[in-house]
């Protein structure tokens, strides 16, 4: 018989559940990726309940995949999980009034017995060039320092607050691995 117990205290320690590297990506690389996005962005939206933004994908052979690979390896050790592959990187562009509402990125693929397990978000914009647009993960507002990388479990609720002024660019991707049991 499964025992019945009181609910354990839920204490969220950001440093234990969000992998962070502040200012990891050089400004030059951030600027190059933004330049690519300015050329190829298209309008995208997932309905009024999710948000409004524009974006595009990066090619599978883009150098950022290999550049960030070491960071992925480090984060996989941090989370002590198995990862089978990383999705193609996507650029997200937000301007005045744009946002991405509270959501999770977790997607189970029952047929293949894999899940989207980790979410990566890279801050590409200089934080002085926009107001608002905070990335909030599990109720925690993350730093807006250019080049910062955050990786967190895809089951965590997160959002990008509305932009009040300027433009915000970010680079996003997800890691997939063996299904949760």
Q: For the chain, what are the domain ranges?
A: 14-178
Which segments in the chain show pLDDT lower than 70? 10-15, 43-49, 181
Tell me the whole-structure pTM to 2 decimals: 0.89
pLDDT at 13: 65
- Cα–Cα dist 162/181, whole Å: 36
**74 SS3 class:** helix
pLDDT at 7: 77
The fold of 14-178 is: Jelly Rolls (2.60.120)
pLDDT at 54: 85
pLDDT at 49: 54
């Amino acid at each position: 018989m499964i025992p019945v117990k009181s609910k354990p205290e839920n204490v969220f320690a950001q440093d234990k559940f969000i992998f962070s590297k502040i200012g990891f990506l050089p400004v030059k690389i951030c600027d190059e990726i933004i330049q690519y996005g300015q050329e190829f962005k298209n309008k995208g939206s997932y309905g009024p309940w999710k948000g409004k933004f524009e974006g595009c994908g990066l090619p599978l052979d883009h150098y950022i995949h290999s550049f960030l690979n070491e960071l992925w390896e480090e984060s996989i050790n941090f989370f002590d999980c198995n990862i089978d592959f990383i999705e193609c990187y996507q650029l997200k562009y937000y301007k005045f009034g744009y946002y991405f509402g509270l959501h999770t990125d977790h997607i189970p693929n029952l047929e293949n017995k894999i899940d989207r397990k980790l979410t990566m978000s890279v801050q590409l914009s200089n934080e002085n060039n926009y107001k608002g647009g905070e990335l909030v993960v599990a109720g925690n507002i993350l730093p807006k320092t250019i080049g910062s990388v955050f990786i967190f479990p895809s089951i965590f609720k997160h959002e990008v607050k509305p932009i009040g002024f300027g433009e915000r660019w970010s680079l996003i991707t997800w890691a997939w691995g063996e299904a949760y049991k």
